[in-house]
Structure 1
Amino acid sequence: MGGKEPKYIITDQDGSILKAAPLVFKTARHRYCMWHIMDKVPSKYGVTRDDYSVFVKKLNAIIIWDDDIEAAYFDAKWEEIGRKHNVNNIDWFQEMYAKRKQWVMAHCRDLDMGGVMRTTQRSESKNSFFKRFESKSGTLVEFSMRFDSAMDQQRHTQKKIDNYNRHTFPVISTHLAIEVHRAQVYSHKVFEEFQEEVKWSIGTCKSRGFTECGSLEVTIVRDANKDRSYAVTYCPDTLKATCSCRMLERKGILCRHIIWIYSSNGVKIIPEQCVVKRWCKDARLSKMFYCNGEATEDVYIIDGKQIAMSVMWSEIHQTVGMLMGKLKNDVDNVSSLIRQFKEKLSPLGSPLNKQQ
């Protein structure tokens, strides 16, 4: 990584790791895997207790399902749940609450993209993937061959996904221009999440107050689905917007509250500062290398014309996909435009045309 430390690392609560991590990573924040902690809840609380299912449901609501709550709200709810279900005298629950800043999302809202990584699931899924290719009795040479096979399969799968993202167009569900714009940019998987936020913004969000602070506009947006209000700060000059739910900072995807503000102000194209590169279709177009700690892009491997042609083919496929839900008149208009450009590109001065 060019000598650059990660912003945070996620591990289980293994004692050796807890001692070693701060020796290796001087600035990274160490977080605990949420799944490993929640997996211990049944044994610590007792599955035979009559209120076990109710207790787990309440606990999941403030830890797993509702990930945009603030620290003060989480602390109040934890205290309420602990008091009603008599867990304040259980040492393990007290220890986990004391360490809440290392694993509860409500206390990690300041971490950029922190909502994407909450468990060690990604690294463990990689271990599970490679186990399908390895053999404990194999030699080092066999391991190398099996590793290459695993990587080839990963690359093949990635190319299939990239091809699907670039040459197909998702179904549009609303009339908002920003949804169409994001469908052209986001990968299909991320667009599905964004599309859900778009639909919620139309059905559940309303303004409950508005104030001006210099060049900024602060709107209190009521979210009927979550039965909660959020403060959205919006700058009409730069189109920059932030929300108190911090979904954009936590996951890199616009929340329904900012989407509602954008649509109310007639914004049709989401500004670049709100777009996370890693969620886009072209996130893997350039290759990154590190030289003496400096990141450089390998931009000369493919010439500019080849890239432009690939982008053009992608735009053609996307345009045809967008016409699926349109009227025949729209299809005829696009066909007419294509024929006009085709005529402009035809070699009128070629020897063949002169002979004709």
Structure 2
Amino acid sequence: MNKVPSKYGVTREDYSEFVKKLNAIIWDEDIEAAEFDAKWEEIGREHTVNNIDWFKEMYAKKNQWVMAHCRDLDMGGVMRTTQRSESENCFFKRFESKLGTLVEFSLRFDSAMDQQRHTQKKLDNGNKHTSPQISTHLAIEVHGAQVYSHKVFEEFQEEVKYSIDTCKSRGFSEGDSLEVTTVRDANRDRNYHVTYCPVTFKATCSCRMLERKGILCWHVIWIYSSNGLKTIPYGCVVNRWCKDAIRSKMFDCNGEAAEDVDIIDGKQIAMSVMWSEIHQTVGMLIGKCKADVDNFSSLIREFKEKLSPLRSPLNKQ
């Protein structure tokens, strides 16, 4: 986009109008691929750029840079072609000197890393010992404040607030244990289709915000709230946005640092899956009769009693 002025010509009378139209379709996260193609053709025809080689070449590479054609790419909404290198360059330029020696470079590099670690610890401390302000009555927002880092929670909180003010149901269908709701987004003047499974609590939206950014959109949040969910379901929380995203040192059963991390990792994964299944089962009991709740509690107590003899030698020691 930085090359558009030189390729199109800033002296043309319709330059401002052309750039405005181009930005409107390129950075629109809700526009469909077919809709983008049609509007690109229309803009090119109105401003006579369809025959310019550079614009034809960029359109041929649309899958690499246009938002509408990258919607199905996991976490594609947070990535840019040169994002990683440019971010590092910008950071280290504050410490380096072109005239410095190799020894000075080493010292400056250590200083840069120390600052990164200091900033990381400061953010971790803030996430651990402070709580963001809650702005709605929804319990799912409280859960988001507990799991997300403060920075990511700000974005999630905006989605929660929008879910209250802008979403309305415009249709509903049910089949194969799935519920499909057409949600009207008054803010964007669009309809979105949310597919929800009452058993697994998994929901997908046609806007694909969770897939693109790893954060629930307000359309899905509205569906969750309508169904009485008070927490973000397992699998909808991307680990990289959590407060405890940085991996900690692993310890074995004796409290010592584990050398065989793969074994510990396998157990941790199994434990996570187990907790997820328990959470989903408890959620499925909502609305069920008391007998079902008692049966599930009985199964847990029975297995607990089976584990007790295994623990008794340790307890005696």
Q: With structure 2 as the length reference, what TM-score do the two structures score? A: 0.77
1:52 partner amino acid: Y
The answer to whether the Cα contact below 8 Å between 1:101 and 1:108 also exists between their aligned partners in 2 is yes
Distance in 2 of aligned mates of 1:297 and 1:143: 40
How far apart are 1:123 and its partner, in Å? 2.1
Distance in 1 of aligned mates of 2:249 and 2:107: 25
Correspondent of 1:223 among 185, 189, 205: 185
**Higher relative contact order, structure no. (Cα contacts within 8 Å, ≥ 6 residues apart):** 1
How far apart are 1:203 and its partner, in Å? 1.1
How far apart are 1:180 and its partner, in Å? 0.9
Correspondent of 2:209 among 247, 250, 257: 247
- Tell me which residue corresponds to 1:315: none
1:183 partner amino acid: A
Per-residue CA distance 1:42-79 (angstroms, 9 max, x = gap): 11111122221121111111112x22322111111111
Per-residue CA distance 1:213-234 (angstroms, 9 max, x = gap): 2100011111111111111100
Superposition RMSD in Å: 1.9
Per-residue CA distance 1:329-348 (angstroms, 9 max, x = gap): xxxxxxxxxxxxxxxxxxxx
How far apart are 1:285 and its partner, in Å? 4.5
- Tell me which residue corresponds to 2:269: none
How far apart are 1:125 and its partner, in Å? 2.2
- Tell me which residue corresponds to 1:69: 31
Distance in 2 of aligned mates of 1:297 and 1:116: 33
2:242 partner amino acid: C
2:5 partner amino acid: P
The answer to whether the Cα contact below 8 Å between 1:234 and 1:242 also exists between their aligned partners in 2 is yes
- Tell me which residue corresponds to 1:80: 42
Correspondent of 1:185 among 140, 147, 150: 147
Give the stretch that moved more between structures: 247-256 or 113-122: 113-122
- Tell me which residue corresponds to 1:125: 87
The 1:126/1:287 distance shift into structure 2, 3 A limit, reads farther
Per-residue CA distance 1:274-301 (angstroms, 9 max, x = gap): 000110111114259xxxxx974989xx
Distance in 2 of aligned mates of 1:287 and 1:42: 51
2:21 partner amino acid: K
SS of residue matched to 1:212: strand
The answer to whether the Cα contact below 8 Å between 1:232 and 1:243 also exists between their aligned partners in 2 is yes
The 1:134/1:216 distance shift into structure 2, 3 A limit, reads same
- Tell me which residue corresponds to 2:53: 91
Unaligned runs of 5+ in 2: 251-259, 266-317
- Tell me which residue corresponds to 1:44: 7
Distance in 2 of aligned mates of 1:80 and 1:295: 57
Q: How many residues align?
A: 256
Distance in 1 of aligned mates of 2:231 and 2:203: 13
- Tell me which residue corresponds to 1:151: 113
- Tell me which residue corresponds to 2:301: none
How far apart are 1:270 and its partner, in Å? 0.9
Superposed counterparts of 1:140-289, under 5 Å: 140-287=102-249
- Tell me which residue corresponds to 2:22: 59
Per-residue CA distance 1:99-122 (angstroms, 9 max, x = gap): 111111211222111111024234
Q: With structure 1 as the length reference, what TM-score do the two structures score? A: 0.69
- Tell me which residue corresponds to 1:321: none
- Tell me which residue corresponds to 2:313: none
The 1:40/1:296 distance shift into structure 2, 3 A limit, reads farther
The answer to whether the Cα contact below 8 Å between 1:206 and 1:222 also exists between their aligned partners in 2 is yes
Same amino acid, percent of matched pairs: 82
User: Moved runs in structure 1, 4+ residues, more than 3 A?
Assistant: 294-299
